[in-house]
Structure 1
Amino acid sequence: MSGELVTGAGVRELIGWLVHLIEAGGALIIFVGAVWAFARFATTGLRRRSLIGEFNKIRLSLGRFLVLGLEFQLAGDVLRTAVAPSFTEIGQLAAIAAIRTILNFFLTREIAQERAEIEGDRKEPLPQASAPVGV
C-alpha cells in the first residue's frame, strides 16, 4: 500500500467531471439567457409596443448572460489544465483565454454603453408645451 488516498488518475478523472459540470453550467447560462431574451422580444413585439426602447434593455440583459456564461467556460478551461499540463495545453489555454477575454471585454464595454444610453434616455427632460401667446 503506497499510502496515497487519491491517485493521479483519480484526480484527473475528478477534474474531468468538474470541468464538464462547469462548462455545462456556462452553456446552460447562455442558453437560458438566449431563451429569455427571445421570449421577452417576442412578447414585446406581440403587445405592439415600441421595440426601440425595449430592444436595448433586452440586449443588455442578454449580454450579461453571455458574459457570465463565458466566464464559466473560461473557468472550465483553466481547471482542465490545472493538473500537470503540457506545453500544448498551456498554449491552447492561452489562446482560448485570450479570445474569451477579448469577447468579454467587448461585451462588457457594449453593456456599459447600452446602460449609459438607457440612463441618458431616462434623464432627458420631457418636452414641455409652450403656452399660447396672449393667453
Structure 2
Amino acid sequence: MNPTPGVENLIMNLVQWLRLGVEITGACTIGIGSAISLFRFAKALMVGKETDFNAIRLTLARYLALALEFQLGADILSTAVAPSWQEIGKLGAIAVIRTGLNFFLSREMQEEKKVSEGESQVETKAANIS
C-alpha cells in the first residue's frame, strides 16, 4: 500500500524542514563554540601572562566535533526520502570525510587531555614537594 501523493509530499516537506533545523543547529554549535573560544582567547591575551592555549583549542574542538555530528545527521535526512544513487554516493563520500575528521579531532582531544592531566599531576607533585 503506497501513501497518497499528498501524504508523501507532506512527509518530504517535514523531513526537509527537520534537515534545515538540524543544519542550523550544527551551524549555531560552531558559532557558539567559536564565540566561547574567542572570548577565552581574548581574555587570556588581555591578562598578559603566559597561558596554555590547549584548553581553548580543546573547547573549540569539542564544539566542532558536535557540529560535525549534526551536519552528518542533516545529510542523512536529506537522502532519507526517495534517494537516488547519486545522492547516496554523495552521502557516502560526505559521511567518510566527516567521520574521518571527527575521528582525528576526537583522537587529538584525547591526546591533549592526557598531556594536560600529566602536566597537572607534575605541578601537583611539585607543589607537594615544596
Give TM-score, length-normalised by structure 1: 0.87
Aligned residue pairs total 125
Q: Could you say which residue in structure 1 is the equivalent of 2:89? A: 91
Q: Could you say which residue in structure 2 is the equivalent of 1:132? A: none
Percent of pairs with identical residues:
42
Greater Rg, structure 1 or structure 2? 1
Q: Mean alpha-carbon deviation: is it higher for 42-51 or for 61-70? A: 42-51
TM alignment of 1:71-90, pairs within 5 A: 71-90=69-88
* Structure 1 unpaired stretches of 5+: 130-135
Q: Tell me how far apart the structure 2 counterparts of residues 88 and 18 of structure 1 sit (CA, whole Å).
A: 22
Amino acid aligned to 1:99: I
Q: Could you say which residue in structure 2 is the equivalent of 1:10? A: 10
Q: Does 1:28 align with 2:20?
A: no
Note the C-alpha offset of 1:9: 1.3
TM alignment of 1:1-135, pairs within 5 A: 4=4, 7-51=7-51, 53=52, 55-124=53-122, 125-126=125-126, 128=129
Q: Tell me how far apart the structure 1 counterparts of residues 65 and 37 of structure 2 sit (CA, whole Å).
A: 14
* Structure 2 unpaired stretches of 5+: none
Q: Tell me how far apart the structure 1 counterparts of residues 11 and 113 of structure 2 sit (CA, whole Å).
A: 44
**What do residues 56-113 of structure 1 show as CA deviations (whole Å, max 9, x unaligned)?**
0010111000000000000000111111110000000000000000000010001001
Note the C-alpha offset of 1:4: 4.8
Note the C-alpha offset of 1:11: 1.0
Structure with the bigger percentage of helix: 2
Moved over 2 A (4+): 3-6
**What do residues 22-54 of structure 1 show as CA deviations (whole Å, max 9, x unaligned)?**
000001001110111011000111011212x2x
Note the C-alpha offset of 1:7: 1.6
